[in-house]
Amino acid sequence: MTEPVTHISFDLIGAAIILLALLLAATGLVLLTSWYWKRRRARPSTFMVEQLEALLDNLPLGLLLTDREGQVLWCNPEACQLLSLDRASPRLDEGLVSLVKRVAESRQSELHELQLAADVRLQLRAMPLDGPSPPDDEVMCMVTDVSGRRHQEEFYRSFIQNISHELLTPLAAIAGHVANIKECSIEEVESWRYSQDTIEREVRRLTGLTSNLLLLSRLESGVPLRLESTNIGVVVEEAVAGLLRVAQAKGIELSIQSPPRLPRTRADRHRIKQVFINLLDNAVKYCPEGSEVQVRLETDGESIIVEVADDGPGIPPEDLPHIFEKMYRVEKESTRAVEGSGLGLSIVKRIVELHGGRIAVESTVGKGTTFRVKLPLAEASPS
Ligand code: ADP
């Protein structure tokens, strides 16, 4: 009697075990599948987070995230560097903490400028970010270094001012003398001639300024050089010959000292001649009557060195670091009266550097000035 019961119960237990095993297997499969899909879904998002982190870490823009109390939650290396923060435990100074609190409170973005040193200026934009509830609100700050931009803006402002001044002065003189010519009677020959000479001089000055500006802009926009094997000695002779008449008129002695044979360089003849014309023109322009201007050529085996030396008024030490800047002129009694736009030496420097060379200047007030141009020899110069 008991056997069938045992059999039935065995069948029941067996079925229950099988059912349980099937249930466990199904649950396991579901768990495994969901784990697998989670992994599959998680993998790209982890990858994306890593990519995003790498991007933020290398961004040339400072970024930092704070809570509403100004505690830094995260910051990228650029922000740490700009604000001198320790990335392991970054802390904002009082001023920035109160800016963050203000932004979190008002829910309004704010732009703030920080002058860290005489030449370091930062711009900081703080923006509120909504959290799930107000205590979780965060503030994102973007930090940019605007020192360079400010410098550039100031440079262009003063450049435009100088250009306008340099254009308006001759234009005003021309306008005045044109009016004078119109009013002159035919008998007033002297006055008429004077106005005509002035107009001619001012037109020459305007033309010089415009062509220098054009040349500088061409050089800066990367117009290619026409490099060819060049005998710098010949180029210097041509430049000296071009200035001889003006020098003689002022009683200035122009001379060249050069070894009989000099190695050749690769240069754009036309451009490099402009270098020596500008240096010689300055020497003749700024030196008083009876001065001496020497051009000395030599080689050190790697470069050709050309010195243009005069015994003129010299350049004050405080002006020396600036004379190659665009439109910089020395405000000195002895040189202010001399016509010029302050572009000649910027052109010289640009051309020399385009040839892979260097220019230096030495000067003593009352004793004279020497410009030293170093140009690489043919094998070493850029092709
Ligand atoms: P500029 O058109 O005024 O001559 P440059 O750029 O050629 O412009 O020169 C810049 C300034 O450097 C000049 O205004 C002048 O004061 C000074 N300078 C250049 N060369 C000499 C020199 N040989 N002797 C004295 N001062 C010089």
Residue 220's pLDDT is 86
In whole angstroms, give the CA distance from residue 63 to residue 56: 8
Is 371 near ligand 1, meaning CB less than 6 Å away?
Answer: no
Is 195 near ligand 1, meaning CB less than 6 Å away?
Answer: no
Average pLDDT over residues 8-25: 53
The residue to which tokens 């360079």 are assigned:
148
Strand (E) or helix (H) holding 310: strand 303-310
Find the angle CA(58)-CA(63)-CA(67) to the nearest 5 degrees. Answer: 140
Specify the range with the lowest mean pLDDT, choosing from 23-32, 72-81, 291-300, 341-350.
Answer: 23-32
Token pair belonging to 222: 């990367």
Q: Is residue 158 over pLDDT 60?
A: yes
Nearest CA to ligand 1 atom 19: 282
Nearest to 381 by CA among 274, 299, 267, 226: 267
**How many Å lie between the centroid of ligand 1 and the Cα of residue 139?**
53
Is 276 near ligand 1, meaning CB less than 6 Å away?
Answer: no
Q: What is the mean pLDDT of the chain?
A: 84
- Alpha-carbon distance values, 91 to 48, 80, 82 (Å): 28, 10, 13
- The amino acid sitting at 355 is H
Model pLDDT for residues 186-206, shown as the tens digit of each residue: 778 888 889 889 999 888 888
Please measure the distance between the N-terminal and C-terminal CA atoms of the chain and give it in whole angstroms.
112
Token pair belonging to 160: 């435009």
Specify the range with the lowest mean pLDDT, choosing from 93-107, 158-172, 207-221, 226-240.
Answer: 158-172
**How many Å lie between the centroid of ligand 1 and the Cα of residue 59?**
43
In whole angstroms, give the CA distance from residue 43 to residue 39: 6
Q: Which runs of consecutive H residues, i.e. helices, occur in 221-354?
A: 232-249, 269-286, 333-336, 344-354
Q: Is residue 288 over pLDDT 60?
A: yes
SS3 297: strand
**How many Å lie between the centroid of ligand 1 and the Cα of residue 316?**
11
In whole angstroms, give the CA distance from residue 7 to residue 42: 51
Is 233 near ligand 1, meaning CB less than 6 Å away?
Answer: no
The residue to which tokens 């579901």 are assigned:
30
In whole angstroms, give the CA distance from residue 266 to residue 209: 29
**How many Å lie between the centroid of ligand 1 and the Cα of residue 357?**
20
Atom of ligand 1 nearest to the CA of 310: 23
**How many Å lie between the centroid of ligand 1 and the Cα of residue 119?**
27
Is 368 near ligand 1, meaning CB less than 6 Å away?
Answer: no
Phi, psi of 207 (to 5 degrees): -65, -40
Q: Which runs of consecutive H residues, i.e. helices, occur in 59-136?
A: 77-83, 94-106
Q: Could you tell me the pLDDT band of residue 210, with boundaries at 50, 70 and 90?
A: confident
Would you say the C-alpha torsion 142, 143, 148, 151 has a positive or negative sign?
A: positive
**How many Å lie between the centroid of ligand 1 and the Cα of residue 323?**
7
Residue 304 bridge partners (DSSP)? 299, 375
Nearest CA to ligand 1 atom 7: 344
65 Cβ neighbours under 8 A, 6+ residues apart: 72, 73, 74, 75, 129, 138, 139, 140, 141
Residue 5's pLDDT is 41
Is 313 near ligand 1, meaning CB less than 6 Å away?
Answer: yes
Q: Is residue 274 over pLDDT 90?
A: yes
SS3 44: helix
Nearest to 360 by CA among 310, 306, 288, 284: 306
Model pLDDT for residues 140-155, shown as the tens digit of each residue: 999 988 887 777 777 7
Q: Could you tell me the pLDDT band of residue 259, with boundaries at 50, 70 and 90?
A: very high
**How many Å lie between the centroid of ligand 1 and the Cα of residue 299?**
26
Specify whether the CB–CB gap between 88 and 75 falls below 8 A.
Answer: no
Model pLDDT for residues 214-246, shown as the tens digit of each residue: 899 889 888 889 999 999 999 999 999 999 999
Average pLDDT over residues 78-93: 91
Specify whether the CB–CB gap between 87 and 127 falls below 8 A.
Answer: no
SS3 267: strand
**How many Å lie between the centroid of ligand 1 and the Cα of residue 183?**
38
Token pair belonging to 145: 């270094």
**How many Å lie between the centroid of ligand 1 and the Cα of residue 329?**
6
Q: Could you tell me the pLDDT band of residue 381, with boundaries at 50, 70 and 90?
A: very low
Residue 285's pLDDT is 95
Enter the pTM of the model: 0.65
Q: Could you tell me the pLDDT band of residue 53, with boundaries at 50, 70 and 90?
A: confident
- The amino acid sitting at 33 is T
Nearest CA to ligand 1 atom 22: 283
Residue 361 bridge partners (DSSP)? 371
Specify the range with the lowest mean pLDDT, choosing from 67-71, 151-155, 359-363.
Answer: 151-155
Is 252 near ligand 1, meaning CB less than 6 Å away?
Answer: no
Atom of ligand 1 nearest to the CA of 346: 6
Is 286 near ligand 1, meaning CB less than 6 Å away?
Answer: yes
Q: Which runs of consecutive H residues, i.e. helices, occur in 123-268?
A: 147-183, 189-220, 232-249
